[in-house]
Amino acid sequence: MIREPLIFEISDKGKRAFRLPKLDVPFHKDLVKEYPARTEVEDFPQVSEVEVVRHFTRLSQANYCVDLGFYPLGSCTMKYNPKINEKMASLPAFAGAHPEAPVDLVQGSLEVLKQTEELLCEITGMDAFTLQPAAGAHGELTGMMLIRARLEDKGNPRKIVLIPDSAHGTNPSSAHICGYHVQEIKSDEKGEIDLADLAKAMTEDVAALMVTNPNTLGVFEANIKAIADIVHSKGGYIYMDGANMNALVGVCRPGDMDVDVIHINLHKTFSTPHGGGGPGSGPVGVKKEFAPYLPVPVIDRKGTSLAVNFARPKSIGRVRSFFGNFLVVVRALAYIRSLGPDGLKEMSEVAVLNANYIRKSLEGEYHLKYDTPTLHECVFSDKFQKEHGVSNIDIAKRLIDYGLHPPTMSFPLIVHGALMIEPTETESRRDLDLFIEAMKKISQEATDDPDLLKTAPHVSPVRRLDETTAARTPILRWTRNG
């Protein structure tokens, strides 16, 4: 395989891949001198178009992706991203729309946003949505700000946010930026929130409980109503992290479980592509009492047309510019409209079936810390393989040799050596079986030849990388002198 150099290493003075039409207004030699101008951008690349095309094409071939195969990252919902949705987002009417255009000239864009809000209300059972947050963590932050604004309005913002020990790291981080102190709630032996621990922690200093449901073990918090009662009885609120909503669509609705505020991830449940780390979209849904605090602007239906409303005195303000990641929303709307009510329900059902099929097939080969029923994902650990000195990382790296993407590792924190597997609904039985077979073989290899695993991967573009040195002596950009 050809080692692809950095673009800077193939750059040569005077090469070009781009030209503009000749300037059609008068050129003034001295005009730029009126500005604090630079004479050059030092070492900025200069390459030909074919060099650009080959550079990125070769780099693309060093990536694993959903279009290539099974991608069972737990809590990431790496489902197939329909191609047609890309086309819908690239329609010039949407891609070319300026966000500051007069409202009467962008009614189509506003319709996309409003219709998506309305459909998300129906799907989640909430009363209102904002599509402004750009990602899940951004949604969490927005949601917690809404809770704080509501509590402030009632006279006391309170001090503490309760978060289960199984939660994503973004939860405590978001609560912290919102000015709250984070207090951890323990999971019980079933992997669910410990009601006694919650009742003890729940005081009138607690603003909210952030709960992921199903949680990061894939376990549904069956006591969600009782949990909500405990929190509500002391005047607190339920924030639901909807990252795992892919298990629930058409089956049950957070709004019907006394959830007050929720964010969902359009780049998980609603199939918008992850793009190698983004862009996502993290809409936030709320019950009526929080609607006055939603970020500005909100979009209102006025007869047959749509208006953009900034006159919202109680709003928390903006959480980003313009209307959020609009073209991501277009893709999600295309997905919801393509699937319809039956397709959406089947989506969650098959996601859960596929996950249970994997769980059942690998039980016994891999250790399952919690035997509670799970929905869209299951969390094994490396406990059995550890006896041969093989860790979850070794298992993950060996999967790469089988042409598969590893599961999420070392998370949730309550399972030591975790292997968190979420297959999603779009995978064929053949792909599920390939994964199951590979996992079984690896388990056998852990016994027979542990070194094979510890030195994996063997056939990837690069072998195991030295992450310690990367962090100790960081090289974070190219420079001419290395």
Partner 1 sequence: MSYISLSDKDKKEMLALVGVSAVEELFRSLPDEIKLKGKLAVPPALTELELNDFFEEVGRRNTLGQYLSFLGAGAYPHLIPYVVEALSSRGEFVTPYTPYQPEVSQGTLQIIFEYQTLICQLAGMDIANASLYDGATGAAEAVLMANRLNNKPKVLIPRSLHPQYRQTIRTYCRNLNLKLEEVGFDDKGEMKLSDLEAGLDAQTSAVVCQSPNFFGQVEDLKKIAERAHAKGALFIVVVAEALSLGILESPGKLGADIVTGEGQSFGLPLGFGGPYLGFMACNKEFLRQFPGRIAGQTKDIEGRRGFVLTLSTREQHIRREKATSNICTNQALCALRATIFLETLGHDGLREMACQNIHKTRYAQAELGKVKGLKVKFAGRPFNEFVLEFAKPWATVDAALRKKGIIGGLGLAADYPELPDCALVCVTEMHRKEDIDRLAAALKEALS
From candidates 116, 129, 138, 208, binder to partner 1 by CB under 8 A: 138
Q: Smallest distance from the beta carbon of 137 to partner 1, in angstroms?
A: 5
Q: Smallest distance from the beta carbon of 172 to partner 1, in angstroms?
A: 4
Stretch that binds partner 1, among 139-147, 231-239, 378-386, 443-451 (CB under 8 A): 139-147
From candidates 30, 303, 466, 481, binder to partner 1 by CB under 8 A: 466
How does 384-422 read in b/e, with b if 16+ C-beta sit within 10 Å? bbbebebbbbbbbbbbbbbebbbbbbbbbebbebbbbbb
Positions in 431-460 near partner 1 (CB under 8 A): 431, 455, 457, 460
Q: Which is nearer to partner 1, 189 or 387 (CB)?
A: 189
Stretch that binds partner 1, among 197-205, 383-391, 439-447, 462-470 (CB under 8 A): 462-470
Distance of CA 21 to the CA centre of its chain: 41
Burial environment of residue 304 by CB neighbours within 10 A (0 to 12, 13 to 18, 19 or more):
exposed
Q: Which is nearer to partner 1, 387 or 421 (CB)?
A: 421
Positions in 64-103 near partner 1 (CB under 8 A): 64-68, 71, 73, 76, 78-82, 84, 86-88, 91-102
Q: Which is nearer to partner 1, 9 or 387 (CB)?
A: 9
From candidates 154, 234, 314, 318, binder to partner 1 by CB under 8 A: 318
Q: Which is nearer to partner 1, 302 or 477 (CB)?
A: 477
Q: Smallest distance from the beta carbon of 302 to partner 1, in angstroms?
A: 14
Cα(257)–Cα(225) distance, rounded to whole angstroms? Answer: 6
Contact 15, 47 (CB under 8 A): yes
Q: Which is nearer to partner 1, 281 or 443 (CB)?
A: 281
DSSP string for 178-220: TT-EEEEE-B-TTSSB-HHHHHHH--TTEEEEEEESS-TTS--
Q: Which residue shows structure tokens 């859960």?
A: 352
3-state secondary structure 396-426: HHHHHHCCCCCCEECCCCCCCCEEEECCCCC
From candidates 256, 437, 449, 451, binder to partner 1 by CB under 8 A: 256
415 binds partner 1 (CB under 8 A): no
Q: Which is nearer to partner 1, 374 or 443 (CB)?
A: 374
Contact 291, 128 (CB under 8 A): yes
Stretch that binds partner 1, among 234-242, 336-344, 380-388, 438-446 (CB under 8 A): 336-344
Q: Which is nearer to partner 1, 275 or 389 (CB)?
A: 275
Q: Which is nearer to partner 1, 203 or 410 (CB)?
A: 410
Nearest Cα to Cα of residue 386 among 420, 419, 337, 342: 419
How many angstroms separate the Cα of 118 from the Cα of each of 113, 126, 138, 332? Answer: 9, 10, 21, 13
Cα(389)–Cα(387) distance, rounded to whole angstroms? Answer: 6
391 binds partner 1 (CB under 8 A): no
How many of the chain's residues bind partner 1 (CB under 8 A)?
202
From candidates 168, 263, 287, 398, binder to partner 1 by CB under 8 A: 168
467 binds partner 1 (CB under 8 A): yes
Nearest Cα to Cα of residue 258 among 118, 117, 120, 124: 124
From candidates 146, 210, 217, 352, binder to partner 1 by CB under 8 A: 352
The 192-231 contact track toward partner 1, x by CB under 8 A, reads: ---------------------------xx-x-xx------
127 binds partner 1 (CB under 8 A): no
What token pair was written down for 439? 């996992």
List, in sequence order, every residue forming a beta bridge with 237; answer none if it has no partner. 208
Positions in 266-285 near partner 1 (CB under 8 A): 267, 271, 273-280, 282
Maximal C-alpha separation, the chain: 77
Angle formed by the axes of helices 429-448 and 392-401, to 10°?
120
Q: Which residue shows structure tokens 């019980």?
A: 188
What token pair was written down for 394? 């070794």
Angle formed by the axes of helices 107-124 and 326-362, to 10°?
30
Q: Which is nearer to partner 1, 107 or 203 (CB)?
A: 107
42 binds partner 1 (CB under 8 A): yes
Q: In 365-455, which ranges are E strands?
A: 378-381, 408-409, 418-421
Stretch that binds partner 1, among 230-238, 330-338, 383-391, 441-449 (CB under 8 A): 330-338
Burial environment of residue 30 by CB neighbours within 10 A (0 to 12, 13 to 18, 19 or more):
exposed
Q: Smallest distance from the beta carbon of 188 to partner 1, in angstroms?
A: 14
